[in-house]
Structure 1
Amino acid sequence: MAMSGGRDDGSPMMEMNTTPLIDVLLVLLIMFIITIPIQTHAVKIDLPANSDQKNPPPVEPDKNQLSIDARGVVLWNGSPIDLVTLRQYLDRTKVMTPEPELHIQPDPQARYEVVDRVLAVVKRSGVTKMGFVGNEQYAVFGK
């Protein structure tokens, strides 16, 4: 017979043909390699956003007004700032002679949590001349 498929002695072939199996596995391996996302070695850095105002509100030599509005926005001499900038301004006032007064005026509707965070920053800065302004708005009349 010309196509016996076995050995020379005419017995059937007992080994499995692994060539198609290897071909399928190689195709699957290539497909998995293609679908894996490319690894980037980038470092993500949060850069500060550009500010609309060119000159930040200066630290006044005699007194500075720190207020907190009802929405929880911290204002330094009328300009909104964050807590990090507040700490920088307070550190700047500490080195001035004489040290300027800090007038704190929270809105009656401001959340206590925001006022507490602001007061913690003021306390950590070591400001010695500080006072609350506008306490009459908290007075309860008629009692």
Structure 2
Amino acid sequence: MSRRTKRRRALPDVEPVADINTTPLIDVMLVLLVMLIITIPIQLHSVNLNLPVSTPPLPDTPPEVLRIHIDPRSVVFFNGTAVADAAELKSRLQGAAAQAVPPEVHVRPDKAARYEAFADVMVAVNQAGLQKLGVVGSEQFIDK
């Protein structure tokens, strides 16, 4: 045997690599990304607005406020007087909503009152068509 055949037998069998070399592809992609970043114009994130210079006039009269209080026994009071039932509350609220300038409604529920009474008041205010509603005294519900 010659030297050449001995060398061929001594080398391990090497198979060709079938994977694609992705390094050049990544290099090209990074170059394109840098070019894109450089060529994008800087955009301004501001909007020019023409705002009024003066302050708006204050209303001549303060708005009327309807005070609804729910006591610990879940009795509903409308401006300090007890309401007999839900129908009476609805009729009073509808009368207030029919005014030229609808009043604000401030609801003050007691912590011990039933939620059902509060929900009934909220539904009655909504059905009467009053839009300005506020819940007053909610700090009592924060656990200390």
TM-score range with shorter-chain normalisation?
0.5 to 0.7
Which residue is equivalent to 1:37?
A: none
Aligned length: 81
Which residue is equivalent to 1:89?
A: 92
Letter aligned with residue 131 of structure 1: G
Which residue is equivalent to 1:72?
A: 74
1:62 aligns to 2:61 (yes or no)? no
> 1 CA distance for matches of 2:66 and 2:100?
14
101-110 vs 90-99, which moves further: 90-99
Cα deviation, 1:91-118, whole Å, max 9, x if unaligned, reads 1111212211110011100011222222
Q: In the TM superposition, what are the counterparts of 1:2-21 in structure 2 within 5 Å?
A: none
TM-score by length of 1: 0.53
> 2 CA distance for matches of 1:97 and 1:116?
27
The SS at the match of 2:72 is coil
Taking only aligned residues, the RMSD between alpha carbons, in angstroms, comes to: 1.3
Q: Deviating runs (4+, > 2 A) in structure 1?
A: none
Cα deviation, 1:56-91, whole Å, max 9, x if unaligned, reads xxxxx7111001111111100111012111111111
Cα deviation, 1:99-142, whole Å, max 9, x if unaligned, reads 1111001110001122222222122111101101111111223x
The SS at the match of 2:82 is strand
Match of 1:123 among 111, 123, 126: 126
Percent identity (aligned): 36
The SS at the match of 1:67 is strand
TM-score by length of 2: 0.53
> 2 CA distance for matches of 1:86 and 1:72?
14
Larger helix fraction of residues: 2
Larger radius of gyration: 2
